[in-house]
Amino acid sequence: MRVKTFILAFLVLTLTASKNIYSQKMSEYTETCIGCHESVTPGIVAEWRKSLHSKISPSQALKKQKIKRRISAEKIPENLLKNVVGCAECHTLNPEKHKDTFEHAGLRVHTVVTPLDCAVCHPQEVRQYDENLMSKAHPNLSKNPVYHTLLSTSLGPQIFENGKLVYQETPPEVKMDACFYCHGTQVEVEGFEERETDFGKMEFPVLKGWPNQGVGRINPDGSSGSCTSCHTRHAFSVEMARKPYTCSECHKGPDVPAYKVYMVSKHGNIYLSHSGEWNFKSVPWTVGKDFTAPTCATCHASLVVDEEGNVIAERTHRFNDRLPWRIFGLIYAHPHPEKPLTTIIKNKAGLPLPTELTGEFASEYLLDEKEMEKRESRMKKICLACHSTSWVEGHFERFEKTIYETNDATFNATKIMLNAWKEGIAKDENLFDEAIEKIWVETWLFYSNSVRFSSAMAGADYGTFAFGRWYLNKSLQVLKDWYEFKRSKR
């Protein structure tokens, strides 16, 4: 008899294991949405049905033990508590703030869900993200005249007339298609238009700068940032944000080859070989049990614990919490900026740059040594979960030397350019528009950056031949020859 009972229990468990254990009560508003959208945009609805948002209500989430929660709000508005988080719950929040709000099926709906909307349940994450360079990625590029000149000479277009190449103003579509794809566009409501739909005529907002999901997007409610950059709608999946592919969307190019370096590092190798057996969904994330090598998220964002529940690293959405340095050299690597909005920085030469043209740090705007140490020790604590002290110290020593080494290389490349500018071989009104200047830009933007990322994550070839020191040293020699060719041609 007991065997039968046992078997029955086993079967019930087996058969129900794949079903989720939460209720799935939708609000009536969301039911309305889904009534039509199930057939109009079936992909969205199906993806949402697979998400945790469709399976648990905020009131259930609040009952979880604090360390296991994915929401950080202590109190959630009464009207949002009981139902799962459906279409209407997000797309009708704060309607008065959203310039893209429109009447739709009896509801006041907006298209662009923003960090301010997400903050209703996830306030801490939004607060932290707001202190993140990424949240200011749009103005940090568009409002910094030096970086904006780099942008416009990188994107063009140029026309050839009268034997000369002349740069034209970069059209907004080109910016959106390139830099602002990652940095985020400014999404503006240009008006409203009526469109024919399967359900008759309907009015919709006309958006400029759309579509976009860049990290520093300026939204129609005035907020900056986009949670969907990493937590891709409509799955909002922690799994996806923890896998390195999310970061690869913006961090794979020659300027910031973090993903490429990671993938050929020992950590990337372990990830690619074994991650099929890892648990990317558990909160908190347990080292050794859930994963055996870090992904980007492990080191830069996640709440990491050991099997006894001791916290190794706190969850943070201010991704520089564990970063003493900014190794993405523009034009030198330097202590991380103190504030996320970097347009406030002025170096001694009066330029909005974190260093002088000679490499000296604009220290007033950058982390001091004490804060750098604090952030580095947070990072090291993660390393130490799997590595001995001498391993970790040896690694960071070498890495810091690489930072100074590559800054020196940038300085020596710059010295050649200072000669060229002084002698009029290149024109210094614009530092980035001529061939010789672009060769110089690549020494720091591509090669020095590559070497630093490689050193930070031990991806040897990116420090050697793959856009590493080989190209850095070749580039210096080419720069010198180019300078001489141009000089002899005068």
Task: Report the site for its own copies in 20-49 (rule: CB under 8 A).
Answer: 39, 41-47, 49
Of the candidate residues 90, 327, 331, 472, the single one contacting its own copies (CB under 8 A): 472
Min CB(490)–its own copies separation in Å = 9
**CB nearer its own copies, residue 278 or residue 319:** 278
Of the candidate residues 134, 235, 313, 425, the single one contacting its own copies (CB under 8 A): 235
Of the candidate residues 203, 307, 314, 364, the single one contacting its own copies (CB under 8 A): 307
The tokens describing 55, both together, are: 């399976």
**CB nearer its own copies, residue 259 or residue 325:** 259
**Binding to its own copies by residue 99, rule CB under 8 A?**
no
Q: Is the dihedral of CA 465, 468, 473, 477 positive or negative?
A: positive
Spatial CA neighbour of 41 closest among 202, 198, 266, 157: 198
Looking at residues 330 to 359 of the shown chain, list those that interact with its own copies (rule: CB under 8 A).
Answer: none
Q: Is the dihedral of CA 307, 312, 314, 320 positive or negative?
A: negative
Of the candidate residues 205, 216, 220, 354, the single one contacting its own copies (CB under 8 A): 205
**Binding to its own copies by residue 428, rule CB under 8 A?**
no
Quick check: 438 and 420 in contact, CB under 8 A? no
Looking at residues 238 to 277 of the shown chain, list those that interact with its own copies (rule: CB under 8 A).
Answer: 239-240, 243, 245-246, 248-250, 252-255, 259, 263-266, 268-270, 272-274, 276
Min CB(118)–its own copies separation in Å = 18
Of the candidate residues 108, 281, 339, 401, the single one contacting its own copies (CB under 8 A): 401
**CA–CA separation, 312 and 286 (whole Å):** 9
Spatial CA neighbour of 330 closest among 248, 414, 247: 414
Min CB(161)–its own copies separation in Å = 8
**CB nearer its own copies, residue 365 or residue 467:** 467
The tokens describing 188, both together, are: 């503006």
The tokens describing 421, both together, are: 């500018």
> 123-162 mask for its own copies (x: CB under 8 A)?
------------------------------xxxxxxxx--
The dihedrals phi and psi of 207, each to the nearest 5 degrees, come to -105, 135
Spatial CA neighbour of 324 closest among 248, 407, 400, 404: 400
Quick check: 302 and 345 in contact, CB under 8 A? no
**CB nearer its own copies, residue 28 or residue 308:** 308
Min CB(77)–its own copies separation in Å = 27
Of the candidate residues 346, 389, 427, 428, the single one contacting its own copies (CB under 8 A): 389
**CA–CA separation, 142 and 140 (whole Å):** 6
> 165-194 mask for its own copies (x: CB under 8 A)?
x-----x-xx-xxxx-xx------------
**CA–CA separation, 249 and 57 (whole Å):** 31
Nearby residues of 354 by Cβ (< 8 Å), 6 or more positions away: 326, 330, 332, 334, 337, 342, 345, 347, 361, 362, 365, 366
**Binding to its own copies by residue 388, rule CB under 8 A?**
yes
In the chain, what is the greatest distance between 2 CA atoms, to the nearest angstrom?
101
Looking at residues 106 to 125 of the shown chain, list those that interact with its own copies (rule: CB under 8 A).
Answer: 111
Count residues contacting its own copies (CB under 8 A)?
137
Token look-up 């294991």 returns: 17
449: left (phi over 0), alpha (psi -120 to 50) or beta: alpha
**Binding to its own copies by residue 415, rule CB under 8 A?**
yes
> 275-304 mask for its own copies (x: CB under 8 A)?
-x----------xxx--x------------
Nearby residues of 68 by Cβ (< 8 Å), 6 or more positions away: 283, 284
